[in-house]
Structure 1
Amino acid sequence: MSPIAPPWSHAPAAKRFVLRLFISLKYVTANVVDRRSGRVIVTASSVEKALREGLDCGRTCNSKAAAAVGEVLAMRLKVDGLATEPIHANAAKEVEKKGFKNRAKVWAILNAIRSHGVNLVIDGGDGRTDHDVPRW
């Protein structure tokens, strides 16, 4: 029998690292996934004790907490030497998936990552890249 390769092993080299966001009412988590291996390479979350203590998240997390998660993720990417690698994020998909109310949180994370020197490539839903995507 020939082994069957997992679907993520055929990921094009151009989109090897992908940013995935998980936003709930209480928490914000951002992961960078290596599509070749299907594993999470770097993660940051408002659940972490160090982040949680420094934030004003009572019952809900706001865009300030989301920006803090983005900053921590960016620092961890720099430590791991991945800041220069292109990290792809589909902003339109993340906003659509999270709902209109979370648009500010999604963009807070993306802007914090980018402002800390990470090579973040924002893809539009229809194949557009950075230059065509509107800024909110």
Structure 2
Amino acid sequence: MKNAVPKNDKKRRKQLVEDVAKLEREMEQRRREELEQLKLAFVDSKIDSVAVNISDLVLENQPPRISKAQKRREKKAALEKEREERIAEAEIENLAGARHVESENLAQILAAENWKSSIFHLMAIACTERWRIS
């Protein structure tokens, strides 16, 4: 609007400035009235909406949200537990194995001869003798 009036026409320019100021005042007044109406409507509906939202909430039955990192830790722990169980089962199965029986027999023979060595040393001797034979 301001660019529609030439600069040298002071009378029309003054009228335009007054019209713009009047329109701005009216718009500001309208905005204030709308805000007041909105505030009144909001206060009334706020109480109702809060009551509705509270009734919709069920806090007791919701499990806590588990993060991805926590899921990874749990999965890793489960895999580690499964691995430990397999190792324990393998150790139980190896008790009846030839290797274990041989080390037990060798330990009994050496204990009868009063050798004072650790079981690891005895197994090392048994392994070296087995390699020499074959």
TM-score above 0.5, yes or no: no
TM-score by length of 1: 0.19
Pick the structure with more helix per residue. Answer: 2
Pick the structure with more strand per residue. Answer: 1
